[in-house]
Amino acid sequence: MAALVVDAAGVVVFANAGACDLFAFGEVPPDLAISALLPDWPLQATVSHALVVAAGGDRRNCQVKVTTWRSASDELTAILIEPESQERQAAVAARDANLRLRYVIEMLPEAVCVFDANDRYVLWNEKYAELYPDIADHLKPGTAFEDILKISLASGRMPEVVGDKDIWLRQRMRKFRQPVSQEEQQLRDGRWLRHDDRRTPDGGAIGMRIDISELKQREEWLSQLFDANPMPMLLCDGTSLDILQANRAALDFYGFDAATLLSSKACGMHVESEADRFAAALLELEGDCEARTVWRQRIADGSERHVLVYVRLLHEGLERRLLLTIADVSDRILAEAEANRLAAHDMLTGLPNRMCFYKALGEALKTSGGKGVAVFCLDLDGFKPVNDTFGHAAGDEVLKMVAERLRGAAREHMVARLGGDEFAILMEAADGNIGDVARGCIAAFKSSFFIGGVAVDIGISIGVSSSPEDGQSGEALVQEADRALYQAKASGRNTWRMAASVRRRQAVSRRMK
């Protein structure tokens, strides 16, 4: 046994051979404090188990006896140290580890239980006992988990909702014996628990019971918000772009059943020319995306819809998710298109108006380099009497019929109404068929127009100019075609004239004078 003597100041003044062996010093170092050897000094009892710092910094628990007496000059204390056996040390270590483990599991917010390799209870915390009051009195170390489940089933106070007891017990034990088992269980009081059981390397198991009622409630609220949202919504995988969920509004909007829609991708409804571009935009997304681009999609009946797509980037653990909200803006797009069409078209006949004609003429000259463009200026002969005799409403009906006849005669070239009974035709890349179009327009007026059963004959005069002979600007071409039109009218009407021919005749006439 190691023996030490310390003075009243706590300095070691004597050490026997056993102490020298235990603490590995040949003789007592001067001014050696006993607290360096016994960190818990002074001890609270004359006999106790205390931590001793032995040779080389080795720390061990030893039985320590303390005796104090007064000498003639000082108060001395004898300390007898008996190292514990390895078995005793192992038992103490196991006890301390058990206490630390119990302390840890009591700190956890979840209900926890620990089992040995034979599925018998080893430890559990207070939250576990509180969660299962029907078995709390039966919980003892060494009790089999299956026996506890049977006791709970027999009590009739089991918190879980159970159907067939035998089937439930077999399924529960089968899951419990798996390396990892997770499931969600609803309790009778409406709460939800998540069971998380995992096997340990020594064959035992650790079980956790986590109250997920609030999480389930939030999931339910989010599900209701998702499903009941009047806007079509799609939840998609952020990598594959597979559609994972679709709300009712999305099914109604696209007209597909759930199975069909959930087998598609986020870009699957887009028209072919836009699908790849939309998919690339989603894959490159690094954050939420406010809808700015109008996309074209096709629904189940084959019709086309114009949509804005709002995207929210979500993360479920390591998984990347995309929440798409679709806004149908087809009516707006159609309304805008109609407004643009009306702004560029004549309200009465539906033909392009003067502004639209001049814009198209300028673009044609630009793309053709100022060559091969012909302009027809057309004016009705004998139209004024129609308005005077039958009224403006009848005249409007005649103008509509005139527009239809000119469309047919123009051979898909642009026909415009410049105003009143003035019309124009734009021919791009003219290739010698100017005369055919002009004669076709005149021929279109050989048959009478009928107003309230009364036949009315109307003719048409046409002036034509072409670039570059008659000019290279739109204004110049229209002016030259207009001059040729007046020459056609002066020549007896219901005929046509080319601007270049008119200029040649005028030049010859001047020379003859």
Q: What is the pLDDT of residues 270-291, one digit of tens each?
A: 999 999 999 999 998 888 877 7
pLDDT on residue 89: 64
Are residues 73 and 113 part of one domain? no
**Strand partners for 14:** 5
HSE toward the beta carbon, residue 354, CA cutoff 13 A: 8
User: Helices marked H in 135-239 — which ranges?
Assistant: 145-155, 165-176, 213-228
CATH number of residue 363's parent domain: 3.30.70.270
CATH number of residue 8's parent domain: 3.30.450.20
286 DSSP assignment: -
Are residues 75 and 137 part of one domain? no
Is the pLDDT score of 87 beyond 60?
yes
Is the pLDDT score of 262 beyond 60?
yes
- Kindly state the average pLDDT of the residues 323-337: 90
Give the pLDDT band (50/70/90) at residue 88: low
Residue 223 belongs to some domain of the structure: no
pLDDT on residue 510: 52
DSSP string computed for 425-438: EEEES--S-HHHHH
347 DSSP assignment: T
Give the pLDDT band (50/70/90) at residue 296: very high
Token match 């009224």: residue? 391
**Strand partners for 124:** 113
pLDDT on residue 508: 46
Tokens of 219: 């999931």
pLDDT on residue 480: 93
Distance of alpha carbon 68 from alpha carbon 70, whole angstroms = 7
Token match 């005077």: residue? 388
- Kindly state the average pLDDT of the residues 253-257: 93
CB-count exposure of residue 503 (10 Å: 0-12, 13-18, 19+):
middle
Query: Count of H helices and E strands in the chain?
Result: 16, 22
The 3-state DSSP class for residue 24 equals coil
Across all residues in the chain, what is the average pLDDT? Answer: 87
pLDDT on residue 46: 84
Chosen domain end from 215, 242, 265: 215
Is the pLDDT score of 198 beyond 90?
yes
For 469-478, write each residue's pLDDT tens digit: 888 899 999 9
For 11-57, write each residue's pLDDT tens digit: 998 999 888 888 888 788 888 998 889 988 988 888 887 888 876 77
Residue 130 belongs to some domain of the structure: yes
Residue 444 belongs to some domain of the structure: yes
pLDDT on residue 294: 92
For 416-452, write each residue's pLDDT tens digit: 999 999 999 999 865 558 999 999 999 999 999 999 8
- Kindly state the average pLDDT of the residues 242-270: 93
- Kindly state the average pLDDT of the residues 452-461: 92
Q: Where are the beta strands (DSSP E) in 317-358?
A: 319-328
Residue 148 belongs to some domain of the structure: yes
Residue bearing the bigger pLDDT, 202 or 186? 202
Chosen domain end from 215, 245, 266: 215
Are residues 494 and 382 part of one domain? yes
The 3-state DSSP class for residue 172 equals helix
- Kindly state the average pLDDT of the residues 229-236: 91
Residue 91 belongs to some domain of the structure: no
% of residues, the chain, pLDDT over 90: 49
Are residues 489 and 357 part of one domain? yes
Are residues 479 and 349 part of one domain? yes
Residue 97 belongs to some domain of the structure: no
Are residues 255 and 197 part of one domain? no
pLDDT on residue 93: 67
Number of Cβ within 10 Å of residue 361's Cβ equals 23
Domain extent at residue 26: 2-84
Are residues 200 and 129 part of one domain? yes
Number of Cβ within 10 Å of residue 140's Cβ equals 9
